[in-house]
Structure 1
Amino acid sequence: WEIRVPLVLPGDLVRVSIFKNFDTELYSEADLIKVVRPSPDRIEPRCPLFGRCGGCQFQHMEIDYQRKWKTEFVRLGLESQNILPTTGTDETFEYRNKLTPHYEAPIKIGEDAYELQGIGFQQVACKDILDVEDCPIATPAINVKFKEVRATLHEQAEAGLLNNKKRRRRNRRSKNEDVGATILFREADNDPETGKPVIVTDFRKYMTTTIKGIKFRYMAGNFFQNNNYVVPLMVDAVLGAALVPVKSITGDDNNTKVPSYFIDCYCGSGLFALTASTKFKLCVGIEVNEKAIEEATENATANSITNCQFVAASAEAIFISPPALTIAGFENQKIQDFPREETVVVLDPPRKGCSGKFLEQLYEYGPQRIVYMSCGPATQARDAKGIVEVGGYDIICIQPFDLFPQTKHVECLMVFEK
């Protein structure tokens, strides 16, 4: 029988409170009450709110120990021993360039008097908002702006200015109620005139982030990776895997060729396709978010990239009903007609992983190589099982990335080959 407790380490002697049993799975979940005797590996967290704030889970470990556990987490999920150690950078605090704190509606404390209870993040044990004045994993520039906005919000709350946002509960008979909000802080490239960081707080405002010499312009509320130190490592790994020469269709080991076609599924604003553009004859990206596809297309134009085309559709459409290409030299060519032995398909799906329909189409097309980056090791493990057992691929490489130090989250790259 297993008892699962957050915020503990092997070697800790702890007092816990069990709150739920899972009889069929043979484990219980428990809250940590007290560390009676700490493990030799336990360190003092940098953040005084660690253990209460739900944002970080690993600040009580040295970074090498964190990465060891992330490697083990991936190993257990994939049931594989052939995993490279989790890699990252030395920037393990003050790295996160996006922060989204929340606040609940101010409460009335007197006649025309209101008070904002907290601005921050959900607590570990409940959904209540914990007041956070400073976040040690956010960039310094974001924390400066966060303090300014906190002061303004408290002033607005006291004046009753935050109590005019209404929404109706799902029960139509209930009355409208005051609501809180989510605030955005996102650090863009430095201002070219002042050289100072630009912090965007409007979800609808456009911003620019430069990765590997490519300028990506996107709406601040849209998805883009939040650690500009580690993302270049991930890009290098994806391109490095994609560019490994492959055997000819005859299987002759002495006749190899570097892939020429790059298909980027779940491409977002074009991160992998655009950074790969100089290495491939043709890059095609697909993404269900039409706004992201607009951004990717505009980013290609702004960076003078002419061999990338982006399609707004669900991922499986790239094989079921792909549009004819319009890129010079490839007019009217269909994606499913790309030579299989010269094509790499890159997958970077959301946490829920790839759809079954998409994977079926992928198996039928059968590219020589699949490069799969994932933020959800559990769903990646599920998809990998099908890619191997149904698609007939071999796993060539598994590389975890520490994209979010001090947290439990891990990004993982898997490479599959026919």
Structure 2
Amino acid sequence: MGRRRRRLPREPFEIVITGLSHEGRGIAHHDERTLFVHGALPGERVRAVYTKRRRSVAEARVVEVLSPAPERIAPHCPHFGVCGGCSLQHLTPERQVELKQSVLMEQFRHMGGVQPERVLAPLTGAPWGYRRKARLAVKHVPRKGRVLVGFREKHSPFVAEMDRCPVLDPRVGERLTELGRLVEGLSIPDRVPQIEVALGDETGALVFRNLAPLTAADLDRLAGFARDSGLAVYRQPGNEATMALVHDPVGRRLDYALPGHGVRLGFRPGDFTQVNAEINRAMVDQALDLLAVAPGERVLDLFCGLGNFTLPLARTAAEVVGVEGAEALVERGRENALRNGLDNVRFHGADLSRGAADQPWATGGFDRVLLDPPRSGAFEVLGLVAALGPKRIVYVSCGPATLARDAGELVHRHGYRLTAAGVMDMFPHTAHVESMAVFQREAQD
């Protein structure tokens, strides 16, 4: 027989919080265990209850704050604490950014054995209404008499009951109840598990995942919502290839502008784009400033997506080569280059997670390299990048641990200096850490 699991104690207990974890949870020690407390801040005395307990580590949640920390604020959203979309609304935005910066510096020390020579000022923007990309969960709940649309509850498969979301772009964030009623009126309210949100500067789209066929009446209802909201509506019965337009009331492609570089980038609802347009513009500006491309230089942009950095770089460089693993994004990059009148940029498809030393584009040397990999990092291509001999590398990261690991490789094995690094608050009120780092050859400028 297996060991019987002991029941968690239900009685609240008092504890003093001594630290803050990378995920924004309070850290304490209780019953000879390291305790992670959801909703607690350093220096606070709280009453908490266990939510999970193992031999040496436990988790708990706050039921009452007895002595609040100075940086504690009232959460802006009434759903905070239940909805799993945000984890840091009880902390001032300034302190959130400080936490993310400290996480990055700790990872550099711990994972890479490096430290930047200069810490970049954080890139910050509006903390509310910023999110343009999201996958909203949908659940038909007969006992509540409604369809719920929003994010899932914290550490739970259930969909949080919410009427609005202040971090979503208001074009969608103010319509969650309306979307729930829309799905509820379909013939298959229990067979629509997800709505994907994709918003551009002036247009937007919603993709309804449908696990059963929609009727003609359903399609009419969805088209009516599109006309009323101004948002294009798609249905998707299978994988991304099955996505089909139901109705587009505007008739214009999704796109966004990078005004400082005279570029507009078009995209489709399923394409990867950055969720925060304001931070993305600042991120592109900073990356190009740090890369410092001179006229006549060749630039390599790895993990280039649909050309977010590639096309702005092409305004200055003699030639830019963009490489991306998703063929759909490669095609979108080519379309965007043509639309923006740029003929000095080339896009190639390649699975960079397998390295790329045998690729025809990986020849001739490059003066500058930009890396913007997924959370898994760019480790597999670092040897190739170093062999190409760029004087400077700018690395844009959504995973501080893998950035730190790769920084250690570039510094200790390939002879680069980590000259600068800092965070970008792409996801306010969450523990996600986005960052940028600059590497320079020891003997170069």
- Is the structural similarity TM-score above 0.5? yes
* Distance 1:107-1:223 versus aligned 2 partners, 3 A rule: same
* Corresponding residue of 1:409: 432
Contact 2:72 2:91 in 1 (8 A): yes
SS at match of 2:278: coil
* Distance 1:64-1:399 versus aligned 2 partners, 3 A rule: same
SS at match of 1:294: helix
| Equivalent residue for 1:391, pick from 404, 414, 417 | 414
Cα distance, 1:84 vs structure 2: 2.9
Relative to the length of structure 2, the TM-score reads: 0.75
- C-alpha separation in 2, matches of 1:316 and 1:61: 37
- C-alpha separation in 1, matches of 2:436 and 2:296: 19
- C-alpha separation in 2, matches of 1:258 and 1:411: 29
* Corresponding residue of 1:182: 194
| Equivalent residue for 1:270, pick from 300, 307, 330 | 307
| Equivalent residue for 1:345, pick from 342, 346, 369 | 369
* Corresponding residue of 1:326: none
SS at match of 1:122: coil
Contact 2:322 2:347 in 1 (8 A): yes
Cα distance, 1:108 vs structure 2: 6.1
* Counterpart mapping for 1:95-134 below 5 A: 95-104=130-139, 106=140, 115-116=145-146, 118-134=148-164
- C-alpha separation in 2, matches of 1:29 and 1:75: 25
- Residue 360, structure 1, aligned to residue 407, structure 2: no
* Distance 1:259-1:123 versus aligned 2 partners, 3 A rule: farther
Aligned length: 362
- Residue 375, structure 1, aligned to residue 398, structure 2: yes
| Equivalent residue for 2:122, pick from 86, 89, 97 | 86
Give the letter aligned to residue 119 of structure 2.
Answer: I
- C-alpha separation in 1, matches of 2:353 and 2:81: 42
* Corresponding residue of 1:214: 263
- C-alpha separation in 2, matches of 1:361 and 1:229: 33
* Distance 1:71-1:85 versus aligned 2 partners, 3 A rule: farther
Cα distance, 1:107 vs structure 2: 5.5
| Equivalent residue for 1:239, pick from 288, 294, 304 | 288
Cα distance, 1:51 vs structure 2: 0.9
- C-alpha separation in 2, matches of 1:232 and 1:197: 27
* Corresponding residue of 1:199: 231
Cα distance, 1:116 vs structure 2: 4.4
SS at match of 1:103: strand
SS at match of 1:350: coil
* Corresponding residue of 1:307: 344
Contact 1:54 1:123 in 2 (8 A): yes
- C-alpha separation in 1, matches of 2:232 and 2:119: 38
SS at match of 2:270: coil
Cα distance, 1:200 vs structure 2: 4.2
CA deviations on 1:329-377 (whole Å, 9 max, x unpaired) are xxxxx54212x5xx111111111212x4322322333322111000111
Cα distance, 1:38 vs structure 2: 1.7
Give the letter aligned to residue 364 of structure 1.
Answer: A
* Distance 1:376-1:41 versus aligned 2 partners, 3 A rule: same
- C-alpha separation in 1, matches of 2:98 and 2:297: 36
* Distance 1:377-1:22 versus aligned 2 partners, 3 A rule: farther
SS at match of 2:88: coil
* Corresponding residue of 2:61: 31
CA deviations on 1:237-296 (whole Å, 9 max, x unpaired) are 11011116xxxxxxxxxxxx7771111100000100101111100001000100000000
Contact 1:83 1:398 in 2 (8 A): yes
Cα distance, 1:209 vs structure 2: 1.6
SS at match of 1:406: coil
| Equivalent residue for 1:139, pick from 169, 178, 187 | 169
Give the letter aligned to residue 14 of structure 1.
Answer: V
* Counterpart mapping for 1:52-67 below 5 A: 52-67=82-97
* Counterpart mapping for 1:280-291 below 5 A: 280-291=317-328
- C-alpha separation in 1, matches of 2:89 and 2:299: 39
* Counterpart mapping for 1:143-158 below 5 A: 143-156=173-186
- C-alpha separation in 1, matches of 2:138 and 2:130: 23
- C-alpha separation in 1, matches of 2:304 and 2:230: 25
In structure 2, the gaps of 5 or more residues are 1-28, 110-114, 204-227, 237-242, 246-252
SS at match of 2:341: coil
- C-alpha separation in 2, matches of 1:124 and 1:316: 32
Contact 1:183 1:201 in 2 (8 A): no
CA deviations on 1:291-347 (whole Å, 9 max, x unpaired) are 000000000000101111000112278852333xxxxxxxxxx54212x5xx11111
- C-alpha separation in 2, matches of 1:119 and 1:94: 17
* Corresponding residue of 1:68: 98
In structure 1, the gaps of 5 or more residues are 166-179, 245-256, 324-333
* Corresponding residue of 2:43: 11
Q: Over aligned residues, Cα RMSD in angstroms?
A: 2.6
Cα distance, 1:88 vs structure 2: 0.7
Contact 2:410 2:416 in 1 (8 A): yes
What is the percent sequence identity of the aligned residues? 29
- C-alpha separation in 2, matches of 1:305 and 1:130: 46
Cα distance, 1:115 vs structure 2: 4.8
Relative to the length of structure 1, the TM-score reads: 0.79
Q: Which moves more between the two structures, 203-212 or 135-144?
A: 203-212
- C-alpha separation in 1, matches of 2:133 and 2:353: 30
